Amino acid sequence: MILMTPGPTPVPEFARAAMATPTIHHRTAEFEAIFGAVRDRLKKFMRAKEVIILASTGTGAMEACVTHFATKALTINAGKFGERWTKLAKAHGKNPTELKYDWNTPAPVNDILAALESDSAIDAVFIQICESAGGLRHPVEEIARAIKAKNERIFVIADGITAVGVEPIDTTHIDALITGSQKAFMLPPAMAIIGLSERAIERIEATGGAGYYFNLAIELKNQRKNTTAWTAPTTLVQGLQAVLGEIDKIGEEKFYALTAKRHAAGIAALNAIGAKIYPQKPALSMLTVYHEDAANLRKWLKKEADLNAAGGQDDLKDKLIRINNMGFVAPQEIAWAINALEIAIAKAGGRKYDGAGVKTFTENYYK
């Protein structure tokens, strides 16, 4: 079975091999050297002043950002992960104001500015760069710039869990950029990373952090010495070192260009087979198709094409098909997925199969 869900993504063989070595104790010079090297590379990769690595899935890092940066939160909800910001803010008494959008609709900058205008108590804005529920790209850089132009003391927290490693993110106006191991880095789940701005670091240090396990002040103090407060996810850190090394072998710019090229060719191919692209502004991390019969198409893909693509969630559970485009996905995998989808649509009584999907993908990818 080919795993083509937009997280978890399949773990490439070189990464599995890097994680198959004997376990290293985390309180050793050997591990600290690896941890330090990974941290240095990550700071540049995430365009952050500091990075904190947590033994947790992405949600743990989201929670830490809620507890550290908000007194009153503004949350942007255009899908399951935006909704999670609201739930986290409520769970921690951050009294969130929520802006809610259809899952295919990017948040307009003016709505956010208006919300800040009408409530001066809001001191942190929480948003996804890519809202994975509908494969939607929010205009986060533009939103962040506008927020800071209005009031530079408002924290901008960006969930980049399906954006970091997908495209270069301009972090000029972003205070915390979050990612996780099981998306573009193509590692097993359970490691989260937060990239921090100068102001975010100041806040963490001035307050002494919040909470206990996810206390970022305790972590930052330790991680600056290339160690962790609690037991580090050593195996995943070794895996990440291999992944970042592989990205450097390809070249960061080319790695991003390949992702963008697969995505553009994929969109052209989906249009060629008459598939409906779901989001108004598709993120590069995945190809998201709306289809009334999506549940049955996915069943066919699994059973006949050995291909595991993701569905939707909530009301769109049986209406979306989401195909991963993050990480080291080969163009032939996307071409095959679209070809299989074209066959599945024909089998379900839709457009007649003529190979237009794979043909259009190939022509666009290699043009």
Ligand X SMILES: *Cc1c(COP(=O)(O)O)cnc(C)c1O
Q: Binding ligand X by CB under 6 A: which of 24, 26, 37, 59? A: 59
Q: Which of the ranges 158-166, 214-222, 303-311, 357-365 carries the binding residues for ligand X, by CB under 6 A?
A: 158-166
Q: Which is nearer to ligand X, 59 or 364 (CB)?
A: 59
Report the nearest approach of ligand X to the CB of residue 273 (Å).
26
Report the nearest approach of ligand X to the CB of residue 12 (Å).
19
- Which of 94, 84, 56 has the alpha carbon at shortest distance from 193? 56
Q: Which is nearer to ligand X, 31 or 185 (CB)?
A: 185
Using the rule CB under 6 A, is 312 a contact of ligand X?
Answer: no
69 token code pair: 């940066």
Report the residue number whose CB is nearest to ligand X.
58
Largest Cα separation within the chain, whole Å, is: 64
Mark residues 179-218: x for contact with ligand X by CB under 6 A, - for none.
Answer: -x--------x-----------------------------
256 token code pair: 């991003």
Strand-pair category, 73-77 with 50-54:
unpaired
Give the three-class secondary structure for 149. helix
What single letter denotes the amino acid at residue 33?
A
Q: Which residues of 316-340 are buried (b: 16+ CB within 10 A; e: fewer)?
A: beebbbbbbbbbbbebebbbbbbbb
Q: Which of the ranges 45-53, 96-104, 154-162, 316-324 carries the binding residues for ligand X, by CB under 6 A?
A: 154-162
Strand-pair category, 192-196 with 176-180:
antiparallel
**CA atoms of 109 and 86, how far apart (whole Å):** 19
Mark residues 161-180: x for contact with ligand X by CB under 6 A, - for none.
Answer: xx-----------------x
Find the angle CA(148)-CA(163)-CA(331) to the nearest 5 degrees: 150
Q: Which of the ranges 145-153, 159-167, 287-295, 326-334 carries the binding residues for ligand X, by CB under 6 A?
A: 159-167
Mark residues 64-83: x for contact with ligand X by CB under 6 A, - for none.
Answer: -----------------x--
Using the rule CB under 6 A, is 132 a contact of ligand X?
Answer: yes
Q: Which is nearer to ligand X, 323 or 340 (CB)?
A: 323
Burial class (CB in 10 A: 0-12, 13-18, 19+), 129: buried
Report the nearest approach of ligand X to the CB of residue 150 (Å).
25
Using the rule CB under 6 A, is 128 a contact of ligand X?
Answer: yes
Report the nearest approach of ligand X to the CB of residue 159 (Å).
5
Name the region of 52 (left: φ>0; alpha: ψ -120 to 50; beta: rest): beta
What single letter denotes the amino acid at residue 38?
V
Position of tokens 């743990």?
60
What single letter denotes the amino acid at residue 64?
A
Report the nearest approach of ligand X to the CB of residue 180 (Å).
5
Q: Which is nearer to ligand X, 132 or 234 (CB)?
A: 132
Residue ranges in contact with ligand X by CB under 6 A: 7, 57-59, 81, 128, 132, 159, 161-162, 180, 189
